Amino acid sequence: MSNVPVAVVTGSNKGIGFAIVRALCKQFPGDVYLTARDPGRGQKAVAKLQEEGLCALFHQLDIDDLQSIRALRDFLKEKYGGLNVLVNNAGIAFKVHDTTPFAVQAEVTLKTNFFGTRNVCTELLPLVKPYGKVVNVSSMVSSSALGGCSRELQQKFRSDTITEDELVELMTKFVEDTKKSVHEKEGWPNTAYGVSKIGVTVLSRIQARMLNEKRKGDHILLNACCPGWVRTDMAGPQATKSPDEGAETPVYLALLPSDADGPHGQFLSNKTVRTW
Ligand code: NAP
């Protein structure tokens, strides 16, 4: 078993994830795994970094596929006895003008952004080693979507006692409500991506609390963040930040020094803790 520190970035064959891997290759003292659902796209991305003189390793990971997540889990367990840095970056967004019915957009978006990310956390968080870092890439849109929720929902999502099961129930209810076309009546904002990212931010707050309760002595720091508005296939060419600039906050959180006791359980943008 290798004692080399190991970092894993989900959805990193392009966009912000790719830039996070690039930065980690330069700054993280250990093995860096670029992961992708499609091995061809993943290997191509690794080769691109190689041309830049950077050495990333590859492992397949489709966060929609529990088997794929578990294969990565078993690999990390066997080869490294765990992992040191996990960046949950993989995500999807329908384009604004996409005509796919809203209920379908809700189901598909929540499936990857919330349920997929949660499944990765369920399988990989127990493997995170003491002094490890976990970064969940959310979005400022989670904050604006929270503002668009009913007072009752806002209260639940801001609660310091909400459980993961309760959050899962709420995310499931959103999808069901869209199918019945009652989501607005039920207090939800009209954004599937926004609700999925509320899920990611709240999940991060819950997971950080759980780490405090169950693994206090392990000094693991877990946060959610927004990369900013970044020029990728998701956000388009008008966005203000380059992918490397978008990677800055996630990488800052992934490389917090081992004597740092925070941030933890926070939502950050531009390396600054934001009020939730
Ligand atoms: P992107 O260029 O579209 O890249 C998304 C990455 O996620 C791709 O590598 C994609 O793989 C991967 N992915 C999607 N579904 C996956 C799955 N089921 N399993 C594994 N990988 C999957 O988007 P981006 O702009 O870099 O976004 C990265 C993250 O930042 C997302 O979580 C996004 O919500 C968040 N974010 C972005 C912005 C922005 O302005 N760009 C702003 C706020 C937050 P494929 O190539 O196979 O599709």
Beta carbons within 10 angstroms of residue 108's beta carbon = 17
> What is the per-residue pLDDT across 112-152, written as a single tens digit (0 to 9) for each?
999 999 999 999 999 999 999 999 999 999 999 999 999 99
Of the candidates 128, 210, 200, which has an alpha carbon nearest to the alpha carbon of residue 163?
210
Residue 181, pLDDT > 90, answer: yes
Q: How far is the CA of 27 from the centre of ligand 1 (A)?
A: 22
Of the candidates 204, 141, 149, which has an alpha carbon nearest to the alpha carbon of residue 173?
149
Q: How far is residue 209's CA from residue 212's CA, in Å, rounded to a whole number?
A: 5
For the chain, what is the total number of helices (H) and then of strands (E)? Answer: 11, 8
Q: Percentage of the chain with pLDDT > 70? A: 100
Average pLDDT over residues 162-180: 98
Residue 248, pLDDT > 90, answer: yes
| Amino acid 2: pLDDT | 86
* 3-class SS of residue 230: strand
Mutate to test the pocket of ligand 1, among 12, 16, 142 (most ligand atoms within 8 A of CB): 16
Mutate to test the pocket of ligand 1, among 94, 200, 226, 232 (most ligand atoms within 8 A of CB): 232
CA-angle at 162, arms to 82 and 122, nearest 5°? 20
| Amino acid 237: pLDDT | 97
Ligand 1 contact via 207 beta carbon (within 6 Å): no
The confidence band for 238, taking pLDDT boundaries of 50, 70 and 90, is: very high
Residue 1, pLDDT > 90, answer: no
Any catalytic annotation for residue 131? no
Of the candidates 171, 177, 159, which has an alpha carbon nearest to the alpha carbon of residue 199?
171
Alpha-carbon dihedral 130, 135, 136, 142, rounded to 10 degrees: 120
Whole-number average pLDDT of the chain: 98
The confidence band for 3, taking pLDDT boundaries of 50, 70 and 90, is: very high
Is there a contact between 16 and 250 (Cβ–Cβ < 8 Å)?
yes
Q: How does DSSP classify residue 81?
A: S
Report the predicted TM-score, pTM, of the whole model to 2 decimal places: 0.98
> What is the per-residue pLDDT across 12-71, written as a single tens digit (0 to 9) for each?
999 999 999 999 999 999 999 999 999 999 999 999 999 999 999 999 999 999 999 999
Ligand 1 contact via 186 beta carbon (within 6 Å): no
Average pLDDT over residues 222-228: 98
Q: Residue 53 to residues 47, 58, 76, 121, 242: CA-CA distances in angstroms?
A: 10, 16, 25, 31, 20
Whether cis (ω within 30° of 0) applies to the bond prior to 243 is no
